[in-house]
Amino acid sequence: MEQYESYKNKMRQIADINGAISVLAWDKEVNLPKKGAAARSQQMATLSGMAHELFTAADFGQELTALIESNNLTPEQHQNVVLTLKDYNKSTKLPTEFVIRRSQVVSEAYHAWIEAREANDFGVYKEDLKKIVGIARETAELFGYEDHPYDALLDMYEPNAKTADLTVLFKDVREQLVNFVKILKEKSQVENDFLSKSYDKDKQWNFGLELLKNMGYDFDAGRQDISAHPFTITFAPTDVRVTTRVDEHDLGNMTWSCIHEGGHGLYEQGLSWDYYGLPLGEACSLGIHESQARMWENNVGRSQAYWQAHYSDLQAVFSENLKDISPSDFYKGINQIAPNAIRTEADELHYHFHVLIRFEIEKELMEGTLEVDDLDKVWNQKYAEYMGIEIKDDRQGILQDIHWSHGSIGYFPTYSLGSFYAAQFFAQAQKDMPDLIQEISEGNSSNLLSWLRQNIHQHGRYFTPEELCMKITGEKLNFKYFMDYAKQKFGAIYGI
């Protein structure tokens, strides 16, 4: 089919440009000399403009519609074109005037956020954040929605996610998880001081590389580097880069950054090169992406079985620091549950309180029932209520995240969705592979990776997150799996 080939070539051309932008973005975070920033921004903007122009060309929508109506496509081809048309409609619903205005608002908000953080004063950022919220509301109106304006934003990150469903989900988080954590708090705390001893950075780096190799991350199709904030970025499924950071006095930072980004990286390496540039060659959603990272980081990487396989190696590398730490002490220590004002430093359970708070705030901002002026107070109240934490200043509070300053509203929920999907998928994987935990305890996660490739990676965007979850587990996302996992794991650790 000539028409489909022409569609495919166009999509690949756009993917080539986007792949180049990703190389520039990666280099920016990993290598860029200070003075190179201005030229780099300009080069990335030029390429982005060219990709956008190609994608939103006036006749492309008609071509896509004609392709769909031709009834001449395989199911996979059909799905590619349908999803491309969805993306196209989204892209073309935003008038150029709005796109330019939005990019100005975002650019100014980002700088205001930086300044506000330096000044440790939410006041400096307030007016810009109001504009960001205004832009988000406009975006929702331009995209359109049936039930809730927030739905239009969620759909950008988690296709078909609904505010109503998330409201139910986060009600469960608020009720069940908050209560469970209260019970844990009454038990005596586990010790994790050993994680902040001095750990040689080169040795940490090498150990992290070994963990990545062991997971199955393909170093012939990627590499690891250092950056201020760990991330995963894809140039093609044959070149997926991960980064980590290494802090001499925080062994945990390097270890679970590597495993987390490794999980993202395995997903991207598992996408299809044949579908390069097409929706079926792209990840399903941010939530599903996060599920891959979280499953490796937590369900696998903080499990007793995993460290049964790897702790003796770690102990051998850092014998001075770890010789008196038993495997059981280590396992407990790396799973300490303790509240923290900062989301990115949260433990596996408290993390979802952070997301819950952001979800509630974003939803109300979109409804117009909450205004930016009161946001720091609301923020601090919620932290006091859900976590019993007193927020001491704005930098530790409402100014901690970059997301809103980037214009990203509707993004945060995908973090929790990731963990909840991870728990549900991992429960299913254990059902499907009764020897899985045994294998992991022997340092062998290859069957898990095959299961993920088979059930998740290979499908790209063919299914929506909900369809994928149904297909794999026979039911929709169900918070029960996460709570069961949490109760079993932390109940045992804290002796409940």
Within 10 angstroms of residue 310's Cβ, the number of other Cβ atoms is: 18
Whose CA is closest to 334, among 309, 291, 297? 297
For position 75 contacting a second copy by CB under 8 A, the verdict is no
Active site residue 345: no
- Angle of helix 75-93 relative to helix 123-143, nearest 10 degrees, comes to 130
Q: Which residue from 4, 10, 29, 40 is in contact with a second copy, where contact means CB under 8 A?
A: 40
Instruction: Give the nearest distance from C-beta 225 to a second copy in angstroms.
Output: 8
Rounded CA separation 165/89 (Å) = 25
Indicate whether 17 belongs to the interface with a second copy (CB under 8 A).
yes
Stretch that binds a second copy, among 42-50, 78-86, 378-386, 396-404 (CB under 8 A): 42-50
What is the number of other CB atoms lying within 10 angstroms of the CB of residue 188?
7
Nearest-angstrom CA–CA distance, 86 and 51 = 17
Per CB under 8 A, the list member of 3, 4, 10, 32 interacting with a second copy is 32
DSSP for 306-366, please give it: HHHHHHHHHHHHTHHHHTT--HHHHHHHTT-----S-GGG--TTTHHHHHHHHHHHHHHHH
Residue 13 contacts a second copy per CB under 8 A: yes
Residue 218 near residue 269 (C-beta atoms within 8 A): yes
Hunting for tokens 């409201």 — which residue is that? Answer: 167
The interface region with a second copy, picked from 9-17, 126-134, 295-303, 340-348 by CB under 8 A, is 9-17
Question: Residues 159, 208, 216, 222: which binds a second copy (CB under 8 A)?
Answer: 222
Residue 384 is a binding residue for a second copy (CB under 8 A): no
Q: Which is nearer to a second copy, 43 or 120 (CB)?
A: 43
What's the rounded Cα separation, in Å, for the pair 19 and 12? 10
CA dist., res. 149 & res. 409, Å (int): 11
Residue 59 lies near a second copy (rule: CB under 8 A) = no
Distance CA 388, CA 399 (A): 19
Residue (274 or 432) nearer to a second copy, CB: 274
| Contacting a second copy within 236-265 (CB under 8 A) | 236, 238-239
Of 90, 93, 174, 223, the one binding a second copy by CB under 8 A: 223
| Span from 34-42, 154-162, 199-207, 378-386 in contact with a second copy (CB under 8 A) | 34-42
Q: How far is the CB of 238 from a second copy (least distance, A)?
A: 4
Q: From the CB of 235, what's the least distance to a second copy, in Å? A: 6
CA–CA distances in Å: residue 49 to residues 104, 428, 463, 496: 15, 43, 29, 57
Q: Which of 63, 261, 290, 348 is catalytic?
A: 261
Least distance in Å: CB of 276 to a second copy?
7
- Catalytic residue list: 261
Where on the chain is the footprint of a second copy (CB under 8 A)?
12-13, 16-17, 19-21, 23-24, 27, 31-36, 38-40, 42-43, 45-47, 50, 218-223, 235-236, 238-239, 273, 276
